[in-house]
Amino acid sequence: MAVTRAQQARRGGTRRREARSGLLFVLPWLLSLLLFTTYPVLTTLYLSLTDYNIIQPPRWIGLQNYRTMFTADPAFWTSVGNSAYYALLAVPLGLAGALGLALLLNTRAQGMGVYRTIIALPVLVPPVASTIIFIAMFDPDNGLINALLQQVGLPAVGWLTDPTWSKPALILLSLWGLGASALIFLAGLQEIPPALLDAAAIDGAGPWQRFWHVTLPLLTPVILFNLVMGVISSFHIFTQALVVGGTTGKPLESTLMFMVHIYRTAFRYFAMGQAAALAVVLFLAVLVVTLVIFRSAHIWVYYEGSRGSNQ
């Protein structure tokens, strides 16, 4: 890289001045990191080892909160199970749906802009509002969905009032918002050089082979990104579950997600120590899962830049 004259002329004095102004520019964020990141994280860790109800000062109880959580709190396991069920279905379905949609949209045919707009629209709806719309549409007695099901001869389903169907309904709600990741996939698809696909076609690869051996490998970095974002956001599902099931996870605790359990422990029961311990567990779960995904990346993610060095 060419070194400009201005850079050459830079001496110790200017450098010190630049460092000073650099620190001034990032100063607000330094404050935020201390006040709204470091302090809260350390405090949550400390509180998780105490009994604390906000009114009386925290009382040190060691690992008692964690012991309670794992052995004496059935709602903990219920909520972990619900969140795991939700994540294990919502994430793969969301990824597959978004990728499929992006493949459909990835053409130069006319009118694609309209479809792109339509699939982006649900992302704009506030989660509280979208959940309310879905509650009405999935009404077990007279909702639109059951009316349609019955019209094609399928049985009506209890949806959000039936513990077996409430989570699938929440998953369908999450799929309504898959436009965001579909558009990211689409951007990734449009990065793929057409020459590569043409070359494969000339060598006799059919559409399926081209997808499997050219498109998909080149798309793996985008899949990695969408996978990580999807897992993190599904671990944090809260608003939709609270609107559907309240703090008790109606019906029959089936929508009691992990975040709802933390919320009620902290801000309904004001058991801040116990809630802090639950929050630490969520933090660790997010860390471990992201780490595992990133660790596995070298097996299945294809990076163009590292093609030579890998072998």
Partner 1 sequence: MTHRDGTQSHHRGAKTGVRRAARSRRYLAPMIRHVLLVAVAIAFLVPFYWMAISALKDNSQIFARPMQWWPNPVRWDNVLRALHYPGFPFLRFLWNSIFYAGCVSLGTVLSCAAVGYGFARLHFPGRDLLFAITVSTMLIPGIVIFIPTFVLFKYLGLLGTYAPLIVPAFLGNAFFIFLLRQFFLGVPQELSDAARVDGAGEWRIFWQIMLPLVRPALTVAAILSFIWTWHEFFGPLIYLSDRSQYPLSLGLFAFRAQHTTEWNLLMAASTLATLPLVIIFFCMQRSFLEGMTLTGIKGS
Q: Which of residues 223-262 bind partner 1 (CB under 8 A)?
A: 225-226, 229, 232-233, 235-240, 242-243, 246, 259, 262
When asked if residue 275 is in the footprint of partner 1 (CB under 8 A), the reply is yes
H/E element, 285: helix 272-300
- Length of the chain (residues): 311
- Of these, 15, 67, 213, 298, which contacts partner 1 (CB under 8 A)? 15
| Residue 90 structure tokens | 């919502």
Element housing 243 (H / E) = helix 239-245
CB of 39 to partner 1, least distance (A): 7
| 102 touching partner 1, by CB under 8 A | no
Calpha distance 274→280 (Å, rounded): 10
| CB of residue 262 to partner 1, shortest distance in Å | 5
Q: Per CB under 8 A, which of residues 30..89 are in contact with partner 1?
A: 30-33, 35-37, 39-41, 43-44, 47, 54
| Residue 286 is a binding residue for partner 1 (CB under 8 A) | yes
Rounded to the nearest whole angstrom, what is the least distance from the CB of residue 308 to partner 1 in the complex?
26
Cα→Cα distances 28→15, 18, 123, 268, 298, Å:
22, 17, 31, 33, 37
Closest CA to 48 of 286, 268, 282: 282
State yes or no: residue 300 binds partner 1 (CB under 8 A): no
**How far does the chain reach from its first CA to its final CA, in angstroms?**
29
Nearer of residues 8 and 310 to partner 1, judged by Cβ: 8
Question: Are 218 and 134 in contact, with CB atoms under 8 Å apart?
Answer: no
Interface with partner 1 (CB under 8 A), residue from 70, 267, 269, 300:
267
